[in-house]
Structures are given as C-alpha cells and as structure tokens.
C-alpha cells in the first residue's frame, strides 16, 4: 500500500463490548507516540459523552455515530494524524460506510474478536449484566446483532493471546504502513 | 497559563467569512508542524462537507455545528494535539458554548477582524455576492448577526496588517503556551 506523504491510514478496531478494542488502542497510542507519530484515539464510549451525546442505540443512531466518527477520522488522517478508532461497529453495512467515507485504501479494519461468552464473563463495565436484566436495550449480542466479518484486514483473537502478543502483532503489521513525514512544504499542505 | 503536560490549548479563530481565518490556520499549521508539534485544523467549511453536512444555517444548526467542533477539539487537545479551529462563530453565546466544552483555561479565542465592507469587497468565495442576490439566506452580516467580542484573547486586524505580520503575531503569542512532550508514560496516557 502506497500512501501520499502526509496521509496516514485509519486503524478501525471493531468487535463486541469488552473484546479489548480500547485496550489495544491505548497500547498502540503509547507505542506510536513514543515513535514520534501523532496518534489519536476516537473511542466510541468517549464520543458518546460529548460529540454524540444526543445519539442513542437505534439502528439509525448507531449508523450516525459511525458516520460522524469516520468523517472526523478522514479529516484528521488527511492532516497527517494516525487515527485509531474503537467502536463496536456491529454490522457489515457500518464497516462499509466507514470504508466509503475514509477510502477503502486507507481503512485498515481490525476485528478484535472475543467470543460473546468470554466478553460476558469479563464484563469489565458491568454492561452485560445490565443488558441481561433489560436495564439496557439494544445491546450488541443481546437483542442487537453483530455480523462476523468475512475478510478483515486483520483478525485478532484476544481470548487466545495475551494483551502484549496482540499489541505486538498489530505493531508489526501497522508499522510498515506508516511513514513519518517530518517537514511539510506549503505544496503538501495545500494538497491535503 | 500552566497546562498539563500532554494537553495543548485550542486556538479558536473566529470572524466574518473572508476575514482570513483559514489563511491564518494554514500558515500556523505549517509553522507548528515543522516545529514538531502535532497540529490539526478544524475548518467550518470543510466540516460542513462531511461531519456536519446535515446541518444548515438556522440558529439551532449553527449552534450544533459549533458544539460538535468544540467537542472534537476537546477530545483531540486532551490527547496532545494542538487544535486550530476556523469557524465564523458569530454570537457571543457560541463562543461561550465552546468555552464551556473546552474549558476557559484551554480556549484561546482569536478575533480575526476585518470590516464587513472589506470582506465583501474581497469576496474570495463569491458568497457575499450570492447573499446580496438572496441566493444564500442567513449569511453572517447579511440577514444574520455577528457579535463584536468585548474582550478576545487576541484581536487581529487583517485589513491593517499583512498576512505575514498577522502570522508572526499569532506565533509569538501562542508559542510560549505550547509545550512539546516527546515521551509519554502510561500514567500520562491514562490520565488523558
């Protein structure tokens, strides 16, 4: 993959709640920042507290949530920021929407895969318990579906590998795709 | 002003269409990028083509446009990105909203000031002519008001100074407020 000099790809991490998306994103951010690459996480949970706080979990709102995130990722990556997203992105049509907005050649989609049972057992945020008690409706995996992707750019199984192993895999795959422009010219900026 | 080590301020450029907001933003981005600072422009015109494309120019939509931009700026600046916005931000209540979301201590509001007549004469994008012919409704300065700020962080008059002079003023004022963290620790990232 050959990218224009000032454009980074977007790493789109998706999977069930509790599968490890945010953990992966934070580990990668630390690594790439220290390598001198400007990197930003767009985390679904965090965006829902601010930018997307008027959005709920209907199909329409989930789609709008993903559309907005993809639009921001696109703007940032064109300005030389490496964007990592962490959103459930439950349906194939959501991933397709992100691909259309960002550009198929720039979107690296990573399926952060962990079986439903394991995510429910971990239940880091207590959301699975709430969904079982019907305190949350339209929870992905309970009352709202998740499409297993057919052919992701990368398929990580977080129940079969340690956090460190998963991070190393990601770093090895992503690093060659990042170039590190240090000096920008006016021409490059106007192009961006 | 003392900022936490991984947080940059947000430079909020506002003023009439054609006053020079985007020009200033692009010049600053070039300067600070080459100084090794990760910097992003959130430009109102560009965001209206993607993130905000369903928003029009009613008071409600203008407010939502500013709310979303401020929320994104907040997320990015907390992750060590220097954000420069370029939005008309016509009303004092809009600037107040941005201040509430970003934090008064982190928002540097810069009034990019140029008299209405001069902006109309420049009419870089042909928008003033369209507004006069009523092809655009609710155009700031023609049918939609602009509050002159009482006490901006910085007041630039782009009709009285050259582009280069304005940029130098901005660079001199902003540079001491930017620290340049190069190595992040886990503790700092978790705090962010």
- Give the closest-approach CA distance of A76 to chain B in angstroms: 7
Tell which wins on pLDDT, A7 or B126.
B126
Question: Which pLDDT score, from 0 to 100, does residue B125 have?
Answer: 86
Contact state of A38 with B38 under an 8 Å Cβ cutoff: yes
User: Is 60 exceeded by the pLDDT of residue B27?
Assistant: yes
Cα distances (Å, whole numbers) of residue A184 to A3, B28, B166: 15, 12, 21
Structure confidence at residue B190 as a pLDDT band (50, 70, 90): very low
- Which tokens is B160 given? 């009285």
Average pLDDT over residues B29-53: 93
Tell which wins on pLDDT, B114 or A5.
B114
For each of chain A's 192 residues, which pLDDT tens digit applies?
Answer: 344 455 789 999 999 999 999 999 999 999 998 888 999 999 998 999 999 999 988 889 999 999 999 999 999 999 999 999 999 999 999 999 999 999 999 999 999 999 999 999 988 888 888 888 888 888 888 888 999 999 999 999 999 999 999 999 999 999 988 865 444 444 444 444
**Predicted ipTM?**
0.88
Sign (positive or negative) of CA dihedral B169, B174, B176, B180: negative
Among B6, B173, B146, which Cα is nearest to B87's? B146
Among B6, B38, B3, which Cα is nearest to B184's? B6
Helix pair B92-102, B59-78: axis angle to 10 deg: 30
Residue B157 CA to residue B119 CA, distance in Å, equals: 12
Q: How many CB pairs under 8 A join A and B?
A: 70
Contact state of B46 with A190 under an 8 Å Cβ cutoff: no
Contact state of A50 with B74 under an 8 Å Cβ cutoff: yes
Burial class (CB in 10 A: 0-12, 13-18, 19+), A53: exposed
Question: Which pLDDT score, from 0 to 100, does residue A34 have?
Answer: 87
User: Given B30, B76, B101, which is nearest A186 (Cβ)?
Assistant: B30
- Give the closest-approach CA distance of B8 to chain A in angstroms: 13
Tell which wins on pLDDT, B126 or A28.
A28
C-beta neighbour count of B190 within 10 angstroms: 9
Question: Going by C-beta distance under 8 Å and a sequence separation of 6 or more, which residues neighbour residue A63?
Answer: A93, A94, A97
Question: Which pLDDT score, from 0 to 100, does residue B139 have?
Answer: 85
Structure confidence at residue B144 as a pLDDT band (50, 70, 90): confident
Q: What is the mean pLDDT of chain B?
A: 88
């Amino acid at each position: 993959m050959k990218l224009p000099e000032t454009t980074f790809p977007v790493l789109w991490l998706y999977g069930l709640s509790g599968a490890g998306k945010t953990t992966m994103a934070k580990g990668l951010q630390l690594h790439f920042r220290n390598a001198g690459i400007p990197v930003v996480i767009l985390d679904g949970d965090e965006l829902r507290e601010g930018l997307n706080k008027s959005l709920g979990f209907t199909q329409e709102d989930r789609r709008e949530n993903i559309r907005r995130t993809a639009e921001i990722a696109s703007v940032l990556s064109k300005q030389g920021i490496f964007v990592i997203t962490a959103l459930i992105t439950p349906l194939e049509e959501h991933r397709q929407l992100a691909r259309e907005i960002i550009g198929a050649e720039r979107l690296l989609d990573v399926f952060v895969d962990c079986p439903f049972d394991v995510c429910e057992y971990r239940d880091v945020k207590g959301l699975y318990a709430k969904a079982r008690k019907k305190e949350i409706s339209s929870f992905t995996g309970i009352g709202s579906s998740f499409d297993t992707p057919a052919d992701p750019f990368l398929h990580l199984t977080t129940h079969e590998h340690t956090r460190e192993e998963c991070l190393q895999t990601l770093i090895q795959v992503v690093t060659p795709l990042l170039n590190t422009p240090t000096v920008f010219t006016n021409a490059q900026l106007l192009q961006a």
